[in-house]
Chains A and B, each alone.
Chain A
Protein backbone atom coordinates (compact mmCIF):
# COMPACT_ATOMS: atom_id res chain seq x y z
CA UNK A 1 0.00 0.00 0.00
CA UNK A 2 0.92 3.64 -0.08
CA UNK A 3 3.60 4.99 2.22
CA UNK A 4 1.96 6.61 5.21
CA UNK A 5 3.15 10.17 5.70
CA UNK A 6 2.42 9.98 9.42
CA UNK A 7 4.48 6.82 9.88
CA UNK A 8 7.67 6.88 11.93
CA UNK A 9 10.71 6.73 9.66
CA UNK A 10 11.86 3.22 10.49
CA UNK A 11 9.87 0.22 11.46
CA UNK A 12 11.00 -0.62 15.01
CA UNK A 13 11.23 -4.31 14.30
CA UNK A 14 14.43 -4.88 16.23
CA UNK A 15 14.09 -7.13 19.24
CA UNK A 16 13.41 -5.24 22.44
CA UNK A 17 16.30 -4.65 24.85
CA UNK A 18 16.89 -7.61 27.12
CA UNK A 19 15.40 -5.99 30.24
CA UNK A 20 12.16 -5.46 28.34
CA UNK A 21 11.87 -9.19 27.65
CA UNK A 22 9.40 -10.93 29.96
CA UNK A 23 11.62 -14.01 30.25
CA UNK A 24 14.52 -11.96 31.57
CA UNK A 25 12.32 -10.15 34.05
CA UNK A 26 10.82 -13.37 35.34
CA UNK A 27 14.26 -14.95 35.70
CA UNK A 28 15.50 -11.96 37.72
CA UNK A 29 12.48 -12.21 39.97
CA UNK A 30 13.05 -15.95 40.37
CA UNK A 31 16.63 -15.30 41.43
CA UNK A 32 15.48 -12.76 44.01
CA UNK A 33 13.06 -15.31 45.45
CA UNK A 34 15.79 -17.95 45.68
CA UNK A 35 18.08 -15.54 47.51
CA UNK A 36 15.30 -14.64 49.94
CA UNK A 37 14.53 -18.30 50.55
CA UNK A 38 18.22 -18.99 51.28
CA UNK A 39 18.45 -16.01 53.64
CA UNK A 40 15.27 -17.05 55.42
CA UNK A 41 16.35 -20.65 55.80
CA UNK A 42 19.98 -20.25 56.79
CA UNK A 43 20.36 -17.02 58.73
CA UNK A 44 19.50 -16.17 62.30
CA UNK A 45 19.26 -19.80 63.40
CA UNK A 46 18.74 -19.82 67.18
CA UNK A 47 19.46 -23.50 67.88
CA UNK A 48 20.10 -26.60 65.86
CA UNK A 49 20.18 -25.92 62.10
CA UNK A 50 18.41 -29.16 61.12
CA UNK A 51 15.48 -28.41 63.39
CA UNK A 52 15.14 -24.82 62.20
CA UNK A 53 15.41 -25.94 58.60
CA UNK A 54 12.60 -28.44 59.03
CA UNK A 55 10.16 -25.88 60.42
CA UNK A 56 11.23 -23.11 58.12
CA UNK A 57 11.00 -25.16 54.97
CA UNK A 58 7.42 -25.98 55.90
CA UNK A 59 6.80 -22.25 56.16
CA UNK A 60 8.39 -21.66 52.77
CA UNK A 61 6.18 -24.35 51.23
CA UNK A 62 3.13 -22.77 52.87
CA UNK A 63 4.14 -19.40 51.42
CA UNK A 64 4.51 -20.95 48.00
CA UNK A 65 1.08 -22.54 48.21
CA UNK A 66 -0.52 -19.28 49.30
CA UNK A 67 1.34 -17.17 46.73
CA UNK A 68 0.40 -19.55 43.95
CA UNK A 69 -3.25 -19.76 44.97
CA UNK A 70 -3.66 -16.03 45.46
CA UNK A 71 -1.47 -14.90 42.56
CA UNK A 72 -3.00 -17.18 39.94
CA UNK A 73 -6.58 -16.85 41.11
CA UNK A 74 -6.45 -13.06 41.31
CA UNK A 75 -5.00 -12.63 37.83
CA UNK A 76 -7.60 -15.03 36.42
CA UNK A 77 -10.38 -13.26 38.29
CA UNK A 78 -9.25 -9.90 36.96
CA UNK A 79 -9.22 -11.17 33.40
CA UNK A 80 -12.64 -12.78 33.47
CA UNK A 81 -14.29 -9.87 35.24
CA UNK A 82 -12.46 -7.31 33.08
CA UNK A 83 -11.26 -5.19 35.96
CA UNK A 84 -8.14 -4.85 38.06
CA UNK A 85 -9.48 -3.65 41.36
CA UNK A 86 -11.87 -6.32 42.55
CA UNK A 87 -10.29 -9.53 43.79
CA UNK A 88 -11.86 -12.73 45.05
CA UNK A 89 -10.99 -11.68 48.61
CA UNK A 90 -12.52 -8.25 48.27
CA UNK A 91 -15.64 -9.88 46.85
CA UNK A 92 -15.89 -12.03 49.97
CA UNK A 93 -14.71 -15.42 48.64
CA UNK A 94 -12.58 -16.29 51.62
CA UNK A 95 -14.99 -14.68 54.04
CA UNK A 96 -17.54 -17.11 52.66
CA UNK A 97 -15.22 -20.00 53.30
CA UNK A 98 -14.85 -19.00 56.93
CA UNK A 99 -18.61 -18.64 57.10
CA UNK A 100 -19.16 -22.22 55.92
CA UNK A 101 -16.87 -23.61 58.59
CA UNK A 102 -18.47 -21.43 61.24
CA UNK A 103 -21.91 -22.64 60.24
CA UNK A 104 -20.77 -26.24 60.48
CA UNK A 105 -19.39 -25.72 63.99
CA UNK A 106 -22.40 -23.61 64.95
CA UNK A 107 -24.90 -26.20 63.83
CA UNK A 108 -23.13 -29.38 64.84
CA UNK A 109 -20.86 -28.25 67.68
CA UNK A 110 -17.11 -28.59 67.89
CA UNK A 111 -17.23 -32.21 69.02
CA UNK A 112 -18.91 -33.21 65.80
CA UNK A 113 -16.63 -30.85 63.89
CA UNK A 114 -13.60 -32.59 65.32
CA UNK A 115 -15.15 -36.02 64.89
CA UNK A 116 -15.44 -35.38 61.18
CA UNK A 117 -12.75 -36.97 59.19
CA UNK A 118 -10.57 -34.01 58.25
CA UNK A 119 -10.48 -34.85 54.59
CA UNK A 120 -14.24 -35.34 54.36
CA UNK A 121 -14.78 -32.02 56.09
CA UNK A 122 -12.47 -30.31 53.68
CA UNK A 123 -14.13 -31.89 50.77
CA UNK A 124 -17.57 -30.77 51.94
CA UNK A 125 -16.41 -27.21 52.53
CA UNK A 126 -14.75 -26.95 49.18
CA UNK A 127 -17.70 -28.40 47.31
CA UNK A 128 -20.15 -26.06 49.02
CA UNK A 129 -17.92 -23.10 48.36
CA UNK A 130 -17.33 -23.90 44.71
CA UNK A 131 -21.00 -24.53 44.07
CA UNK A 132 -22.04 -21.34 45.83
CA UNK A 133 -19.45 -19.13 44.22
CA UNK A 134 -20.14 -20.53 40.76
CA UNK A 135 -23.79 -19.62 41.25
CA UNK A 136 -23.05 -16.22 42.72
CA UNK A 137 -20.49 -15.18 40.17
CA UNK A 138 -22.41 -16.70 37.33
CA UNK A 139 -25.27 -14.47 38.36
CA UNK A 140 -23.09 -11.41 38.90
CA UNK A 141 -20.87 -11.68 35.86
CA UNK A 142 -22.61 -14.13 33.56
CA UNK A 143 -25.38 -11.89 32.32
CA UNK A 144 -25.07 -8.40 31.00
CA UNK A 145 -22.08 -6.21 31.80
CA UNK A 146 -22.50 -4.17 34.93
CA UNK A 147 -20.64 -1.10 35.96
CA UNK A 148 -17.48 -1.82 37.86
CA UNK A 149 -18.51 0.57 40.60
CA UNK A 150 -21.74 -1.32 41.16
CA UNK A 151 -19.78 -4.57 41.33
CA UNK A 152 -17.40 -3.04 43.82
CA UNK A 153 -20.31 -2.04 45.98
CA UNK A 154 -22.02 -5.44 45.74
CA UNK A 155 -18.73 -7.15 46.52
CA UNK A 156 -17.98 -5.07 49.55
CA UNK A 157 -21.50 -5.44 50.85
CA UNK A 158 -21.35 -9.22 50.38
CA UNK A 159 -17.92 -9.49 51.95
CA UNK A 160 -18.99 -7.39 54.92
CA UNK A 161 -22.18 -9.39 55.26
CA UNK A 162 -20.30 -12.70 55.30
CA UNK A 163 -17.79 -11.39 57.80
CA UNK A 164 -20.38 -9.88 60.15
CA UNK A 165 -22.58 -12.94 59.99
CA UNK A 166 -19.58 -15.12 60.77
CA UNK A 167 -18.62 -12.88 63.66
CA UNK A 168 -22.13 -12.92 65.01
CA UNK A 169 -22.24 -16.70 64.96
CA UNK A 170 -18.80 -16.94 66.50
CA UNK A 171 -19.95 -14.79 69.41
CA UNK A 172 -22.73 -17.24 70.09
CA UNK A 173 -20.35 -20.21 70.15
CA UNK A 174 -19.19 -21.55 73.46
CA UNK A 175 -15.49 -20.86 74.09
CA UNK A 176 -14.39 -24.40 73.36
CA UNK A 177 -16.15 -24.48 69.99
CA UNK A 178 -14.68 -21.09 69.20
CA UNK A 179 -11.19 -22.29 70.02
CA UNK A 180 -11.55 -25.30 67.74
CA UNK A 181 -12.84 -23.10 64.96
CA UNK A 182 -10.08 -20.53 65.17
CA UNK A 183 -7.47 -23.26 65.25
CA UNK A 184 -8.96 -24.64 62.07
CA UNK A 185 -9.35 -21.28 60.38
CA UNK A 186 -6.36 -19.27 61.36
CA UNK A 187 -3.46 -21.64 61.30
CA UNK A 188 -0.49 -19.36 61.02
CA UNK A 189 1.96 -19.10 58.17
CA UNK A 190 4.90 -19.81 60.41
CA UNK A 191 3.44 -22.95 62.00
CA UNK A 192 1.48 -24.65 59.23
CA UNK A 193 -0.37 -27.86 59.97
CA UNK A 194 1.24 -30.55 57.83
CA UNK A 195 -1.95 -32.32 56.80
CA UNK A 196 -3.58 -29.07 55.82
CA UNK A 197 -0.47 -28.06 53.96
CA UNK A 198 -0.54 -31.22 51.88
CA UNK A 199 -4.27 -30.91 51.21
CA UNK A 200 -3.91 -27.27 50.21
CA UNK A 201 -0.96 -27.99 47.98
CA UNK A 202 -2.94 -30.69 46.21
CA UNK A 203 -5.93 -28.41 45.66
CA UNK A 204 -3.78 -25.55 44.43
CA UNK A 205 -1.99 -27.91 42.08
CA UNK A 206 -5.37 -29.06 40.75
CA UNK A 207 -6.45 -25.45 40.28
CA UNK A 208 -3.27 -24.70 38.37
CA UNK A 209 -3.72 -27.83 36.29
CA UNK A 210 -7.09 -26.43 35.23
CA UNK A 211 -5.88 -22.87 34.60
CA UNK A 212 -2.54 -23.40 32.89
CA UNK A 213 -3.90 -25.14 29.76
CA UNK A 214 -6.33 -22.22 29.41
CA UNK A 215 -3.61 -19.55 29.50
CA UNK A 216 -3.94 -18.71 25.81
CA UNK A 217 -7.70 -18.58 26.06
CA UNK A 218 -7.23 -16.23 29.01
CA UNK A 219 -5.14 -14.00 26.76
CA UNK A 220 -8.06 -13.82 24.35
CA UNK A 221 -10.43 -13.02 27.22
CA UNK A 222 -8.48 -9.80 27.86
CA UNK A 223 -10.07 -8.53 24.65
CA UNK A 224 -13.45 -8.71 26.35
CA UNK A 225 -16.39 -11.03 25.92
CA UNK A 226 -17.64 -9.94 22.46
CA UNK A 227 -14.22 -10.23 20.84
CA UNK A 228 -13.53 -13.53 22.58
CA UNK A 229 -16.82 -14.99 21.33
CA UNK A 230 -15.97 -13.77 17.84
CA UNK A 231 -12.69 -15.68 18.08
CA UNK A 232 -14.51 -18.88 18.98
CA UNK A 233 -14.17 -18.95 22.78
CA UNK A 234 -17.06 -20.70 24.47
CA UNK A 235 -17.26 -17.84 26.93
CA UNK A 236 -19.81 -19.15 29.40
CA UNK A 237 -18.25 -22.55 29.78
CA UNK A 238 -14.69 -21.28 30.03
CA UNK A 239 -15.57 -18.59 32.56
CA UNK A 240 -17.47 -21.07 34.74
CA UNK A 241 -14.53 -23.48 34.71
CA UNK A 242 -12.18 -20.66 35.64
CA UNK A 243 -14.43 -19.46 38.46
CA UNK A 244 -14.46 -22.99 39.82
CA UNK A 245 -10.65 -23.15 39.73
CA UNK A 246 -10.44 -19.75 41.44
CA UNK A 247 -12.82 -20.88 44.20
CA UNK A 248 -10.86 -24.06 44.82
CA UNK A 249 -7.58 -22.21 45.08
CA UNK A 250 -8.96 -19.53 47.38
CA UNK A 251 -10.49 -22.20 49.60
CA UNK A 252 -7.12 -23.92 49.85
CA UNK A 253 -5.22 -20.78 50.70
CA UNK A 254 -7.80 -19.57 53.21
CA UNK A 255 -7.84 -22.86 55.05
CA UNK A 256 -4.09 -22.67 55.35
CA UNK A 257 -3.46 -19.12 56.55
CA UNK A 258 -6.84 -17.45 56.89
CA UNK A 259 -8.08 -14.56 54.77
CA UNK A 260 -5.60 -11.91 53.65
CA UNK A 261 -7.87 -9.30 52.17
CA UNK A 262 -5.59 -7.23 49.96
CA UNK A 263 -2.73 -9.60 49.21
CA UNK A 264 -4.01 -10.60 45.76
CA UNK A 265 -4.66 -7.01 44.81
CA UNK A 266 -1.06 -6.03 45.49
CA UNK A 267 0.67 -8.92 43.78
CA UNK A 268 -1.55 -8.93 40.68
CA UNK A 269 -1.25 -5.22 40.02
CA UNK A 270 2.49 -5.23 40.62
CA UNK A 271 2.71 -8.18 38.24
CA UNK A 272 0.93 -6.29 35.43
CA UNK A 273 3.48 -3.50 35.70
CA UNK A 274 6.47 -5.72 36.17
CA UNK A 275 5.84 -8.64 33.78
CA UNK A 276 6.40 -6.70 30.55
CA UNK A 277 3.70 -8.65 28.75
CA UNK A 278 -0.06 -8.99 29.02
CA UNK A 279 0.17 -12.72 28.37
CA UNK A 280 -0.92 -14.97 31.20
CA UNK A 281 2.04 -17.25 30.62
CA UNK A 282 4.05 -14.35 32.08
CA UNK A 283 1.69 -12.44 34.36
CA UNK A 284 0.61 -15.48 36.38
CA UNK A 285 4.08 -16.74 37.35
CA UNK A 286 5.17 -13.16 37.94
CA UNK A 287 2.30 -12.65 40.37
CA UNK A 288 3.23 -15.88 42.17
CA UNK A 289 6.88 -14.89 42.54
CA UNK A 290 5.99 -11.37 43.63
CA UNK A 291 3.79 -12.98 46.27
CA UNK A 292 6.80 -14.95 47.47
CA UNK A 293 8.88 -11.77 47.63
CA UNK A 294 6.16 -10.05 49.67
CA UNK A 295 5.71 -12.94 52.10
CA UNK A 296 9.39 -13.85 52.49
CA UNK A 297 10.55 -10.25 52.56
CA UNK A 298 7.81 -9.25 54.97
CA UNK A 299 8.46 -12.19 57.24
CA UNK A 300 12.21 -11.52 57.27
CA UNK A 301 11.74 -7.88 58.11
CA UNK A 302 9.19 -8.62 60.83
CA UNK A 303 11.11 -11.48 62.36
CA UNK A 304 14.75 -10.50 62.00
CA UNK A 305 14.66 -6.72 61.93
CA UNK A 306 11.86 -5.94 64.35
CA UNK A 307 11.93 -9.22 66.25
CA UNK A 308 8.17 -9.20 65.97
CA UNK A 309 6.16 -12.38 66.25
CA UNK A 310 2.86 -10.97 65.07
CA UNK A 311 1.02 -11.93 61.92
CA UNK A 312 2.29 -10.82 58.58
CA UNK A 313 -1.23 -10.61 57.18
CA UNK A 314 -1.98 -7.55 59.33
CA UNK A 315 0.94 -5.72 57.76
CA UNK A 316 0.02 -6.83 54.25
CA UNK A 317 -3.56 -5.76 54.79
CA UNK A 318 -2.51 -2.35 56.00
CA UNK A 319 -0.24 -1.74 53.01
CA UNK A 320 -2.79 -3.34 50.71
CA UNK A 321 -5.60 -1.16 52.01
CA UNK A 322 -3.64 1.95 51.14
CA UNK A 323 -2.84 0.55 47.71
CA UNK A 324 -6.51 -0.30 47.17
CA UNK A 325 -7.53 3.26 47.99
CA UNK A 326 -4.90 4.55 45.60
CA UNK A 327 -6.21 2.33 42.77
CA UNK A 328 -9.85 3.26 43.37
CA UNK A 329 -9.07 6.96 43.52
CA UNK A 330 -6.86 6.84 40.45
CA UNK A 331 -9.54 4.97 38.45
CA UNK A 332 -12.16 7.39 39.68
CA UNK A 333 -10.09 10.37 38.64
CA UNK A 334 -9.93 9.22 35.03
Chain B
Protein backbone atom coordinates (compact mmCIF):
# COMPACT_ATOMS: atom_id res chain seq x y z
CA UNK B 1 0.00 0.00 0.00
CA UNK B 2 0.97 3.62 -0.45
CA UNK B 3 0.31 5.39 2.82
CA UNK B 4 0.44 9.12 3.41
CA UNK B 5 0.40 10.15 7.05
CA UNK B 6 -0.42 13.77 7.82
CA UNK B 7 1.50 14.96 4.78
CA UNK B 8 1.80 18.71 4.27
CA UNK B 9 3.54 20.62 1.50
CA UNK B 10 3.84 24.39 1.30
CA UNK B 11 5.15 26.61 -1.46
CA UNK B 12 5.95 30.00 -0.01
CA UNK B 13 2.91 30.90 2.05
CA UNK B 14 0.55 28.65 0.11
CA UNK B 15 -0.32 25.23 1.52
CA UNK B 16 -0.62 22.99 -1.51
CA UNK B 17 -1.13 19.68 0.24
CA UNK B 18 -2.77 20.19 3.59
CA UNK B 19 -2.30 17.53 6.28
CA UNK B 20 -3.41 14.69 4.03
CA UNK B 21 -3.73 11.18 5.43
CA UNK B 22 -4.63 8.75 2.71
CA UNK B 23 -4.06 5.16 1.72
CA UNK B 24 -3.76 4.45 -1.99
CA UNK B 25 -3.01 1.34 -3.96
CA UNK B 26 -5.76 -1.00 -2.90
CA UNK B 27 -6.86 -3.57 -5.43
CA UNK B 28 -8.09 -2.24 -8.73
CA UNK B 29 -8.10 1.24 -10.18
CA UNK B 30 -8.33 4.43 -8.17
CA UNK B 31 -9.13 7.71 -9.88
CA UNK B 32 -7.86 10.97 -8.43
CA UNK B 33 -9.97 13.94 -9.47
CA UNK B 34 -10.14 17.60 -8.60
CA UNK B 35 -9.95 21.05 -10.14
CA UNK B 36 -6.75 22.58 -11.53
CA UNK B 37 -4.37 23.45 -8.72
CA UNK B 38 -6.01 21.09 -6.24
CA UNK B 39 -2.66 19.46 -5.47
CA UNK B 40 -2.98 16.19 -7.38
CA UNK B 41 0.36 16.43 -9.14
CA UNK B 42 2.04 17.61 -5.95
CA UNK B 43 0.62 14.58 -4.14
CA UNK B 44 2.13 12.31 -6.81
CA UNK B 45 5.45 14.14 -6.57
CA UNK B 46 5.48 13.59 -2.81
CA UNK B 47 4.90 9.87 -3.28
CA UNK B 48 7.40 9.77 -6.17
CA UNK B 49 10.10 11.37 -3.89
CA UNK B 50 10.50 14.35 -6.19
CA UNK B 51 9.27 16.75 -3.54
CA UNK B 52 10.00 16.53 0.16
CA UNK B 53 7.04 17.02 2.46
CA UNK B 54 7.21 19.80 5.06
CA UNK B 55 5.52 17.48 7.49
CA UNK B 56 4.31 13.91 7.56
CA UNK B 57 5.56 10.66 6.16
CA UNK B 58 5.04 8.52 3.06
CA UNK B 59 5.50 4.77 2.94
CA UNK B 60 5.27 2.40 0.00
CA UNK B 61 4.64 -1.23 0.83
CA UNK B 62 5.66 -0.41 4.41
CA UNK B 63 8.99 1.16 3.33
CA UNK B 64 9.63 4.76 4.32
CA UNK B 65 10.53 6.55 1.09
CA UNK B 66 13.11 8.78 2.74
CA UNK B 67 15.18 5.87 4.04
CA UNK B 68 14.68 3.25 1.34
CA UNK B 69 17.14 3.36 -1.58
CA UNK B 70 15.65 5.00 -4.63
CA UNK B 71 16.67 2.06 -6.80
CA UNK B 72 14.63 -0.26 -4.58
CA UNK B 73 11.52 1.92 -4.73
CA UNK B 74 11.74 2.17 -8.53
CA UNK B 75 11.02 -1.54 -8.69
CA UNK B 76 7.70 -1.13 -6.95
CA UNK B 77 6.52 2.31 -8.04
CA UNK B 78 6.29 3.82 -11.52
CA UNK B 79 5.01 7.32 -12.20
CA UNK B 80 3.77 8.83 -15.44
CA UNK B 81 4.27 12.54 -15.13
CA UNK B 82 1.85 15.17 -16.35
CA UNK B 83 4.54 16.93 -18.35
CA UNK B 84 7.16 14.96 -20.21
CA UNK B 85 9.91 16.65 -22.06
CA UNK B 86 13.10 15.09 -23.33
CA UNK B 87 15.85 17.24 -24.80
CA UNK B 88 17.90 14.44 -26.34
CA UNK B 89 16.93 12.74 -29.57
CA UNK B 90 15.54 9.36 -28.53
CA UNK B 91 13.45 6.86 -30.39
CA UNK B 92 10.31 5.30 -28.96
CA UNK B 93 12.22 2.08 -28.45
CA UNK B 94 15.01 3.86 -26.55
CA UNK B 95 12.44 5.46 -24.28
CA UNK B 96 10.58 2.25 -23.51
CA UNK B 97 13.92 0.54 -22.81
CA UNK B 98 14.52 3.04 -20.02
CA UNK B 99 11.52 1.58 -18.23
CA UNK B 100 13.65 -1.49 -17.56
CA UNK B 101 16.47 0.47 -15.97
CA UNK B 102 15.43 -0.27 -12.36
CA UNK B 103 15.63 -3.99 -13.11
CA UNK B 104 18.56 -4.24 -15.49
CA UNK B 105 20.62 -1.10 -14.77
CA UNK B 106 20.87 -0.72 -18.54
CA UNK B 107 21.97 -4.25 -19.47
CA UNK B 108 18.92 -5.78 -21.04
CA UNK B 109 18.13 -9.43 -20.42
CA UNK B 110 15.78 -11.62 -22.41
CA UNK B 111 13.10 -10.93 -19.84
CA UNK B 112 13.62 -7.17 -20.18
CA UNK B 113 13.21 -7.41 -23.93
CA UNK B 114 9.98 -9.35 -23.50
CA UNK B 115 8.62 -6.58 -21.26
CA UNK B 116 9.65 -3.95 -23.79
CA UNK B 117 7.95 -5.81 -26.65
CA UNK B 118 4.82 -6.29 -24.61
CA UNK B 119 4.64 -2.62 -23.66
CA UNK B 120 5.17 -1.48 -27.23
CA UNK B 121 2.52 -3.90 -28.36
CA UNK B 122 -0.01 -2.89 -25.68
CA UNK B 123 0.36 0.77 -26.58
CA UNK B 124 0.03 0.15 -30.28
CA UNK B 125 3.44 1.61 -31.01
CA UNK B 126 5.07 -1.05 -33.15
CA UNK B 127 4.89 1.07 -36.29
CA UNK B 128 6.64 3.95 -34.54
CA UNK B 129 9.33 2.18 -32.58
CA UNK B 130 12.24 3.65 -34.55
CA UNK B 131 10.77 7.14 -34.78
CA UNK B 132 12.33 9.92 -32.77
CA UNK B 133 10.08 11.37 -30.07
CA UNK B 134 10.09 14.76 -31.76
CA UNK B 135 8.70 13.15 -34.89
CA UNK B 136 5.53 11.94 -33.17
CA UNK B 137 2.15 13.52 -32.61
CA UNK B 138 1.27 14.55 -29.05
CA UNK B 139 -0.88 11.49 -28.49
CA UNK B 140 1.68 9.10 -29.92
CA UNK B 141 4.30 10.61 -27.62
CA UNK B 142 1.96 10.26 -24.65
CA UNK B 143 1.53 6.57 -25.49
CA UNK B 144 5.31 6.15 -25.68
CA UNK B 145 5.66 7.51 -22.14
CA UNK B 146 2.87 5.24 -20.92
CA UNK B 147 4.67 2.31 -22.55
CA UNK B 148 7.80 3.20 -20.58
CA UNK B 149 5.82 3.13 -17.33
CA UNK B 150 4.26 -0.19 -18.29
CA UNK B 151 7.68 -1.67 -19.10
CA UNK B 152 8.84 -0.72 -15.61
CA UNK B 153 6.46 -3.44 -14.43
CA UNK B 154 5.87 -2.23 -10.88
CA UNK B 155 3.19 -3.18 -8.40
CA UNK B 156 2.12 0.44 -7.95
CA UNK B 157 1.50 2.65 -10.94
CA UNK B 158 0.69 6.36 -10.71
CA UNK B 159 -0.58 7.98 -13.89
CA UNK B 160 -0.92 11.76 -13.97
CA UNK B 161 -3.46 12.62 -16.65
CA UNK B 162 -2.68 9.68 -18.95
CA UNK B 163 -5.47 10.74 -21.31
CA UNK B 164 -3.73 14.01 -22.19
CA UNK B 165 -3.59 14.53 -25.93
CA UNK B 166 -5.33 11.27 -26.78
CA UNK B 167 -8.10 10.85 -29.32
CA UNK B 168 -11.40 9.17 -28.44
CA UNK B 169 -10.30 5.74 -29.44
CA UNK B 170 -6.98 5.87 -27.65
CA UNK B 171 -8.57 7.30 -24.51
CA UNK B 172 -10.78 4.25 -24.33
CA UNK B 173 -7.87 2.00 -25.25
CA UNK B 174 -5.74 3.41 -22.44
CA UNK B 175 -8.51 3.03 -19.88
CA UNK B 176 -9.06 -0.54 -21.04
CA UNK B 177 -5.32 -1.10 -20.68
CA UNK B 178 -5.40 0.41 -17.18
CA UNK B 179 -8.22 -1.98 -16.28
CA UNK B 180 -6.25 -4.93 -17.66
CA UNK B 181 -3.17 -3.90 -15.71
CA UNK B 182 -5.29 -4.02 -12.56
CA UNK B 183 -7.39 -7.09 -13.30
CA UNK B 184 -4.97 -9.35 -15.18
CA UNK B 185 -1.57 -8.24 -13.94
CA UNK B 186 -2.64 -7.42 -10.38
CA UNK B 187 -1.24 -3.89 -10.50
CA UNK B 188 -2.50 -1.14 -8.26
CA UNK B 189 -3.20 1.83 -10.48
CA UNK B 190 -3.90 5.37 -9.31
CA UNK B 191 -4.71 7.76 -12.10
CA UNK B 192 -5.51 11.46 -12.30
CA UNK B 193 -8.44 12.06 -14.60
CA UNK B 194 -10.27 15.23 -15.53
CA UNK B 195 -13.12 13.54 -17.36
CA UNK B 196 -15.28 12.24 -14.52
CA UNK B 197 -17.21 10.00 -16.87
CA UNK B 198 -14.02 8.10 -17.60
CA UNK B 199 -13.33 8.00 -13.87
CA UNK B 200 -16.80 6.65 -13.13
CA UNK B 201 -16.73 4.09 -15.91
CA UNK B 202 -13.30 2.61 -15.38
CA UNK B 203 -12.35 3.02 -11.75
CA UNK B 204 -13.39 1.29 -8.54
CA UNK B 205 -12.69 4.14 -6.20
CA UNK B 206 -12.61 7.88 -6.69
CA UNK B 207 -10.61 10.24 -4.48
CA UNK B 208 -11.47 13.91 -4.93
CA UNK B 209 -9.12 16.70 -3.92
CA UNK B 210 -9.69 20.37 -3.58
CA UNK B 211 -7.38 23.07 -2.22
CA UNK B 212 -4.88 20.51 -0.99
CA UNK B 213 -7.34 18.37 0.95
CA UNK B 214 -9.20 15.19 0.21
CA UNK B 215 -12.86 16.19 0.07
CA UNK B 216 -14.41 12.91 -1.05
CA UNK B 217 -13.23 9.31 -1.14
CA UNK B 218 -15.76 6.66 -2.12
CA UNK B 219 -16.74 4.06 -4.69
CA UNK B 220 -17.22 5.66 -8.08
CA UNK B 221 -21.01 5.53 -8.05
CA UNK B 222 -21.27 7.53 -4.84
CA UNK B 223 -19.13 10.34 -6.20
CA UNK B 224 -21.29 10.72 -9.29
CA UNK B 225 -23.90 12.86 -7.63
CA UNK B 226 -24.58 16.51 -8.43
CA UNK B 227 -24.08 17.69 -4.83
CA UNK B 228 -20.73 15.89 -4.48
CA UNK B 229 -19.46 17.15 -7.84
CA UNK B 230 -20.59 20.64 -6.99
CA UNK B 231 -18.59 20.52 -3.76
CA UNK B 232 -15.49 19.40 -5.67
CA UNK B 233 -15.64 21.59 -8.76
CA UNK B 234 -17.79 24.51 -7.62
CA UNK B 235 -19.92 24.16 -10.69
CA UNK B 236 -23.29 22.63 -11.47
CA UNK B 237 -23.12 19.20 -13.06
CA UNK B 238 -26.18 17.34 -14.19
CA UNK B 239 -25.96 13.57 -13.66
CA UNK B 240 -28.22 11.28 -15.69
CA UNK B 241 -28.57 7.56 -15.71
CA UNK B 242 -27.93 5.97 -19.11
CA UNK B 243 -28.17 2.17 -19.41
CA UNK B 244 -27.91 1.92 -15.64
CA UNK B 245 -24.69 3.99 -15.46
CA UNK B 246 -24.42 7.51 -14.11
CA UNK B 247 -23.25 9.98 -16.74
CA UNK B 248 -22.28 13.54 -15.93
CA UNK B 249 -23.32 16.22 -18.39
CA UNK B 250 -21.10 19.24 -18.30
CA UNK B 251 -20.78 20.30 -21.88
CA UNK B 252 -22.74 23.51 -21.62
Contact = CB atoms under 8 A, between A and B. Distances in A.
Interface of A: 1-2, 4, 6-8, 10-13, 16, 82, 84, 216-217, 219-220, 222-224, 226-227, 229-235, 278
If over half of B's interface residues share one DSSP class (helix, strand or loop), that class is named, otherwise mixed; here it is loop
Contact of A224 (B74, B79, B86, B102): B86
18 contacts: A2-B169, A4-B124, A6-B137, A7-B128, A84-B87, A216-B101, A217-B106, A222-B87, A222-B90, A224-B87, A227-B86, A227-B98, A230-B74, A231-B99, A231-B101, A231-B152, A232-B71, A278-B90
B88 A231 contact: no
A230 B148 CA distance: 11
A6 B98 CA distance: 26
B48 A229 contact: yes
Contacts of A224: 85-87
Nearest to B71: A232
10 closest Cβ contacts across the A-B interface? A232-B74, A216-B106, A7-B127, A232-B71, A222-B88, A232-B102, A278-B88, A1-B124, A231-B101, A232-B70
Nearest to B173: A1
A231 B86 contact: no
Interface residues of B, number: 41
Given A222-B87, A232-B74, A4 B105 contact: no
B50 A229 contact: yes
Nearest to A233: B70
Given A1-B121, A278-B89, A227 B81 contact: yes
B48 A230 contact: yes
A232 B75 contact: yes
Contacts of A11: 126-127, 129
Given A231-B102, A232-B73, A4 B127 contact: yes
B124 A278 contact: no
